[in-house]
Amino acid sequence: SRKADILKDELPQADYVFLDVPCTNLGVIRRKPDVKWRVREGDLAVAAATQEAMLARASDMLAPGGTVVYNVCSLEPEENERVVENVAARTSAELVPCRGDEFGDVCDGPYLRTWPHRHGCNGGFAATLRRRR
């Protein structure tokens, strides 16, 4: 395993990447209510652009058949499914659906999503992309 700056460092091809991106942290608002006062207008767009660049880079560095797990502690669609959909549309990566038989009710369509009011934890989002062979 290796910790690196995916936007700056020259990285080798990889079979697996776990990408925990910087975000607005709006999924932790239950535990840290002050988050809502720290997020300013425009922060969401800046975060989403950075996340999209990071996920695109991670997708491009995958070996054929390799997977990247995209993880974010936000519930905002701009930081979640929109980032994944945009990257999947312009790279050689395809979405791997969340499997309810493995993850149960945290599967929300093709994504894994935790809701504070439903799961008693922080809100979060994850998606898996696989590079086409």
Mind listing the pLDDT tens digit for each residue in 23-46? 999 999 888 989 889 999 899 999
Instruction: Set out the domains of the chain in order of their start, with CATH numbers.
Output: 14-131 (3.40.50.150)
Task: Classify 44 in phi/psi space as left (phi over 0), alpha (psi -120 to 50) or beta.
Answer: alpha
Look up 73 and say whether it is catalytic.
Answer: yes
Strand ranges (DSSP E) for 21-105?
A: 62-72, 93-96
Using DSSP's 3-state secondary structure scheme, residue 111 falls into strand
Q: Which pLDDT value is given to residue 104? A: 83
Q: Which of 23, 73, 98, 121 is catalytic?
A: 73
Q: Which residue has the higher pLDDT, 127 or 29?
A: 127
- The pLDDT score that the predictor gives to residue 47 is 97
| pLDDT range class, residue 59, cuts 50, 70, 90 | very high
Sign of the alpha-carbon dihedral angle for 13, 49, 24, 8: positive
Determine contact, residues 129/81, Cβ cutoff 8 Å.
no
